[in-house]
């Protein structure tokens, strides 16, 4: 066996092991509290995909249980050479956390509008004079990151963190969310109580293109409800004559998943701003994850989580507010981390059989 073949076989073995570990971690999300903890953690590690946050979380917890790190949850993670660039080094005996990194290749085409015209470029190969070039994800490979507690060296500057009183909403968050809702063509109605909207905290009416929020709650609860309804607007708008077999359609055909998505987006937006999310309610994962025919619960959980994460990221990126860190040490470019994590744009619409969704 040649060295190259042996290296490829070793990489595939490590990749299979990571995929197995990931499936086990996702399958362990049974209760609503499990789900909330996972998404709250993902909100603080927004520079990583949901799958990678699960891998980091479970491996760090194992390291804590073995006495190798001082805290049960990580703070900042980065690669070996990234820590060196920040004047820190991985301490002897500390094992990195395996995560999934994208493998990309360059493709060229003289007719970019024709999907069949794109051809791969070899290493160092230049495109033709009239060809367009793009990078495309072609696979995954295992790589490693280390938490700051596994390293030593120069201090890592602490990022500012919102300091909120109980029931207080972060400055500018309500206005930012409201602007996104009205920017999507919906009127925002503020009602006096739940009685005005059928006993709900909030309501999205797609036919009237209205979002209603009850105002007899504290500021944090109003903000959470507004983010929940924005989740409905982004993900669950009616789409006529659309036939799909993906989870986006599954979510709107299964009311339980649609509500989980909206509440989870609100949770991630809140957690990213340092809000207490203990009052957010998500039903047992084992109930809604088993509601989609033809898909395993693990597939439903992973797809739902990544869809929630991508949508929450798109919301957060349009907010001019102070947020908690995203898991990247100060001094590293977030864009570089995001590319390695495979951040994808949010899906912003799918079919729904009903016209009104509420909290």
**pLDDT digit string (tens) for 98-129?**
999 999 999 999 999 999 999 999 999 999 99
Task: Say how many Å lie between the first and final Cα of the chain, rounded.
Answer: 59
Give the residue among 274, 268, 60, 55 at the shortest CA–CA distance from 148.
60
Looking at residue 143, the DSSP 8-state letter turns out to be E
CA dihedral angle for residue 356, residue 248, residue 250, residue 187, rounded to 10 degrees: 0
273: left (phi over 0), alpha (psi -120 to 50) or beta: alpha
What pTM, to 2 d.p., does this model score? Answer: 0.81
Give the residue among 313, 319, 309 at the shortest CA–CA distance from 334.
313
Whole-angstrom distance, CA of residue 15 vs CA of residue 257 = 30
**pLDDT digit string (tens) for 18-77?**
989 999 999 999 899 999 999 999 999 999 999 999 999 999 999 999 999 999 999 999
**pLDDT digit string (tens) for 84-100?**
999 999 999 999 999 99
140: left (phi over 0), alpha (psi -120 to 50) or beta: beta
Give the pLDDT score at 9: 83
Strands 97-109 and 119-120: antiparallel
Whole-angstrom distance, CA of residue 304 vs CA of residue 250 = 10
Query: Are 288 and 257 within 8 A, CB to CB?
Result: yes
């Amino acid at each position: 066996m040649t060295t190259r073949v042996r290296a490829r076989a070793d990489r595939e073995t490590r990749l299979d092991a990571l995929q197995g570990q990931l499936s086990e971690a996702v399958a362990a999300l049974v209760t609503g509290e499990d789900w909330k903890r996972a998404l709250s953690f993902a909100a603080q590690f927004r520079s990583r995909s949901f799958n990678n946050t699960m891998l980091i979380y479970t491996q760090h917890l194992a390291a804590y249980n073995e006495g190798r790190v001082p805290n049960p949850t990580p703070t900042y993670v980065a690669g070996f050479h990234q820590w060196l660039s920040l004047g820190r080094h991985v301490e002897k005996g500390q094992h990195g956390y395996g995560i999934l990194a994208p493998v990309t290749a360059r493709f060229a085409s003289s007719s970019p509008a024709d999907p069949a015209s794109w051809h791969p470029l070899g290493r160092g190969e230049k495109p033709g004079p009239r060809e367009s070039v793009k990078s495309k994800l072609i696979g995954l490979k295992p790589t490693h990151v280390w938490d700051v507690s596994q390293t030593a060296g120069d201090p890592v500057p602490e990022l500012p963190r919102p300091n909120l009183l109980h029931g207080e909403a972060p400055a500018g968050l309500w206005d930012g969310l409201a602007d996104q809702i009205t920017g999507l063509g919906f009127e925002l109605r503020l009602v006096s109580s739940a009685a005005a909207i059928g006993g709900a905290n909030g309501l999205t009416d797609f036919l009237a293109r209205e979002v209603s929020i009850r105002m007899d709650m504290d500021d944090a609860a109003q903000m959470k409800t507004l983010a929940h309804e924005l989740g409905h607007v982004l993900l669950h708008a009616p789409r006529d004559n659309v036939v799909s077999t993906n989870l986006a359609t599954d979510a709107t055909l299964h009311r339980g998943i649609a509500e989980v998505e909206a509440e989870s987006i609100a949770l991630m937006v809140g957690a990213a701003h340092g809000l207490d999310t203990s009052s957010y309610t998500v039903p047992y994962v084992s109930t809604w994850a088993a509601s989609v025919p033809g898909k395993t619960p693990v597939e439903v959980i992973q797809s739902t989580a990544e869809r929630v994460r991508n949508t929450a990221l798109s919301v957060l990126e349009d907010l001019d507010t102070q947020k908690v860190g995203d898991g990247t040490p100060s001094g590293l470019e977030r864009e570089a981390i995001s590319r390695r994590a495979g951040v994808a744009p949010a899906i912003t619409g799918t079919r729904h059989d009903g016209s009104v969704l509420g909290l």
